[in-house]
A and B are shown apart, each in its own frame.
Chain A
Amino acid sequence: MASGAAGEPGVAASERVYRALMRAYPEEVRRRYAEEMVGYFGDLCREERSSRGPGGVMSLWARTLPELIFTALQERGTVFRRNAYLPAAPGTVARWGALCALLGGVLGVAFHLIEYSLLGALGILTGGSYGSDPFARFFTLLLLLGALSLSSLGLFGLYGTVVARSGRPGLLAGAGAVFSAAAAFLWLSISGYGAVHNLASGTAFFAPFEWLWNGGALLIGPAMVFWFLGLLLLGIAAARERRLPRLLRVLPLVLFAIIAPSYELGGYFEMVGNPVTAVIVMGFAQGLPFVGVALLGWVLLRDDAAGPPVASDGPDGGAREAGDVSGATRPAGRIAGGARSGTSGVERDKEKELHGAIQRHGQLTVAGVALETSLSVKEAGRMLSGLASKGHLGVRVEHGRLLYSLWEDRG
């Protein structure tokens, strides 16, 4: 790389060492600037050597090493801060969260239909008691707590989608995710303990843990509050996210809005002295939120099936907002949600292919995309320029060639 380095073994060796030390920087910095940084350092070496001899090179090293350590830590810190709020790819979080929401919602509806509407109504009509044997209790308990746990985890689908679309969660979605995580943790703890309690209660082995049953009951309230707060905050965050489809923006808030009245509806029928209708309606009303959660999961999955966010490359996948020169980058994120609307399935597949190729290579030219995918040069050029003009891809000129890249890369 350095044309003049061949005749200057000291400089060439310095360059080699500096190149090896470049590993301290995040991959993103190395990919973009390694060659230039090594070249620049080589130039400084040559300059010092010609003006002050080997002592100058030593002095340069003495200045450069601390600077390298400091700036490498700084760059790694920037990458860490970008990734800290979601250590997994937002698309993956969105997908798994959506599945959890769908499954949790279905389980919740099943629980309420079986436990309240079916068994409750049967018990009142026949005067018998259904579902009170240990196995039925175990089954229904698992069904309920599983539904609540999965529904709490399901909110991460919304969180992942917001992050994927906006580049970073912001305070609202971040706080919503924390509440959802707390709710999921509590529900999973309660359901785990509840399952073991049902199986082992009364045994000598379980005796020291019996008292936890009462303690567990105390956790139900906070778990429910956390879940509500998580849903509310994530719902507001989603509603404010203009890049999300309208249905996805509205649904979480609608879901939150139906929770409170749905609980009241069953209470009303009980109050007016219609117990059969009351248990059926109560089961239906209490199950309504789970219908909403299942619907949320379905909408999230449908949104995901429309194609992955083109310009979001993991949790750090944010667009560069103009003008951050003070140290921290401020990823603002670009996605292809808008670009996707109106595109055919074939087009979306090609877009996915293109996205995958750029993600693998970091940056590609039109010809590079054509080589890496099934797209023709003409198609690649059209799609790349279209996505870039809408701000979904970054474009840079290097040695007279246009290079397209995702907005940010994981370091």
Chain B
Amino acid sequence: MCAKRRVDPEGLLPLTPVALNILLALADEERHGYGIGVEVRERTGGEMRLGPGTLYGSLKRMVDGGLVEESEGHAGGEADDGRGGYDAGRRRYYRLTGFGGRVLAAELARLEDVVRTAQAKGFLPPPRRGVSSPGEV
């Protein structure tokens, strides 16, 4: 929500793995910190477990950088996760900004180039037919 001086998304690349995964977690919907942590952990098969310092340190930088913003809250309230967790009313939600979306797209395009290069050099199998590349999404 802060007024910011916009910079070229390309200038922020490459993103750190944590930043990339947080942006991916927010790509489809706004989430609170715990929601981001769970999504990243599940999507990475438990490989990436974000501690509070890592998660909120990255969120702080991304909010400051204009990639992510705090949303005005979850309209439908929060569905209880069944664990009797952190007070739902006090959770802060985060969502991707337009600029954050452009940065994410630029990073994915960059990674796609890397994969293409690896395929061209025979380090990776060629893409299967009928599977769209990230850039086509």
B28-53 interface code vs A (CB 8 A; 1 in, 0 out):
00001110010000000000010111
Q: Is B57 an interface residue (CB 8 A)?
A: yes
B48-87 interface code vs A (CB 8 A; 1 in, 0 out):
0101111111111111111101111100000000011111
**Which of A1, A18, A40, A44 gathers the greatest number of chain B CB atoms within 10 Å?**
A40
Q: Is A210 an interface residue (CB 8 A)?
A: no
A50 to B90, CA, bound (A): 23
Query: Are B62 and A42 closer than 8 Å at their CB atoms?
Result: no
Query: Are B11 and A323 closer than 8 Å at their CB atoms?
Result: yes
A386 to B37, CA, bound (A): 37
A376-404 interface code vs B (CB 8 A; 1 in, 0 out):
00000000000011010011111110000
A47-91 interface code vs B (CB 8 A; 1 in, 0 out):
100100000000000011001101110110000000000000000
Q: Which residue of B4, B33, B71, B85 contacts A321 across the interface (Cβ within 8 Å)?
A: B4
Query: Are B84 and A40 closer than 8 Å at their CB atoms?
Result: no
A25 to B1, CA, bound (A): 24
Contacts of B85 in A (CB 8 A): 2-4, 39, 42-43, 46
Query: Are B52 and A47 closer than 8 Å at their CB atoms?
Result: no
Query: Are B6 and A40 closer than 8 Å at their CB atoms?
Result: no
Query: Are A63 and B51 closer than 8 Å at their CB atoms?
Result: yes
Q: Is B9 an interface residue (CB 8 A)?
A: yes
List the A residue with the shortest CB-CB distance to B53. Answer: A71
Q: Is A326 an interface residue (CB 8 A)?
A: yes
Query: Are A72 and B92 closer than 8 Å at their CB atoms?
Result: no
Query: Are B60 and A323 closer than 8 Å at their CB atoms?
Result: no
A128 to B12, CA, bound (A): 73
Contacts of A29 in B (CB 8 A): 56-57, 60
A388 to B54, CA, bound (A): 29
Contacts of A33 in B (CB 8 A): 56, 59-60
A399 to B58, CA, bound (A): 21
Number of B positions contacting A (CB below 8 A): 50
Contacts of A70 in B (CB 8 A): 53
Query: Are A43 and B34 closer than 8 Å at their CB atoms?
Result: yes
Given known A-B contacts A44-B37, A388-B3, A325 and B62 have beta carbons under 8 A apart: yes
A332 to B65, CA, bound (A): 11
Q: Which residue of B57, B63, B67 contacts A75 across the interface (Cβ within 8 Å)?
A: B57
Query: Are A37 and B52 closer than 8 Å at their CB atoms?
Result: yes
Query: Are B86 and A322 closer than 8 Å at their CB atoms?
Result: no
Query: Are A63 and B49 closer than 8 Å at their CB atoms?
Result: yes
Contacts of B109 in A (CB 8 A): none
Q: Is A36 an interface residue (CB 8 A)?
A: yes
Query: Are A325 and B66 closer than 8 Å at their CB atoms?
Result: no
List the A residue with the shortest CB-CB distance to B87. Answer: A3
Contacts of B59 in A (CB 8 A): 33
A1-28 interface code vs B (CB 8 A; 1 in, 0 out):
1111001100000000010000001000
Query: Least Cβ distance of A396 to chain B in Å?
Result: 5
Given known A-B contacts A32-B60, A323-B11, A1 and B99 have beta carbons under 8 A apart: no
Contacts of B1 in A (CB 8 A): 395-397
Query: Are A320 and B2 closer than 8 Å at their CB atoms?
Result: yes
Q: Which residue of A64, A74, A325, A329 contacts B15 across the interface (Cβ within 8 Å)?
A: A325
A395 to B66, CA, bound (A): 12
Q: Which residue of A4, A36, A326, A399 contacts B56 across the interface (Cβ within 8 Å)?
A: A36
A46 to B69, CA, bound (A): 27
**Which of A18, A33, A75 gathers the greatest number of chain B CB atoms within 10 Å?**
A33
List the B residue with the shortest CB-CB distance to A37. Answer: B52
Query: Are B65 and A71 closer than 8 Å at their CB atoms?
Result: no
**Which of B37, B64, B72 gathers the greatest number of chain A CB atoms within 10 Å?**
B64
A329 to B84, CA, bound (A): 36
Q: Is B132 an interface residue (CB 8 A)?
A: no
Query: Are A398 and B64 closer than 8 Å at their CB atoms?
Result: no
Given known A-B contacts A67-B53, A394-B2, A397-B1, A325 and B60 have beta carbons under 8 A apart: no
Query: Least Cβ distance of B69 to chain A in Å?
Result: 8
Contacts of B57 in A (CB 8 A): 29, 71, 74-75
Query: Are B61 and A329 closer than 8 Å at their CB atoms?
Result: yes
Q: List 30 A-B contacts (CB under 8 A).
A: A36-B33, A37-B56, A40-B37, A40-B52, A40-B56, A43-B83, A47-B83, A63-B51, A67-B51, A67-B53, A68-B51, A68-B53, A71-B51, A74-B57, A75-B53, A322-B4, A322-B67, A323-B11, A323-B103, A324-B64, A325-B61, A325-B62, A326-B16, A327-B61, A395-B1, A396-B1, A396-B63, A396-B70, A397-B1, A399-B73
Given contacts A67-B51, A391-B5, list 13 more A-B pairs with CB under 8 A. Answer: A39-B34, A40-B37, A40-B55, A40-B56, A41-B52, A67-B54, A71-B54, A322-B65, A322-B67, A323-B67, A394-B3, A396-B63, A396-B69
Instruction: Please name the 7 residue pairs, one residue from A and one from B, whose CB atoms are nearest each other, closest first.
Output: A4-B84, A71-B53, A39-B86, A67-B51, A320-B64, A323-B65, A37-B52
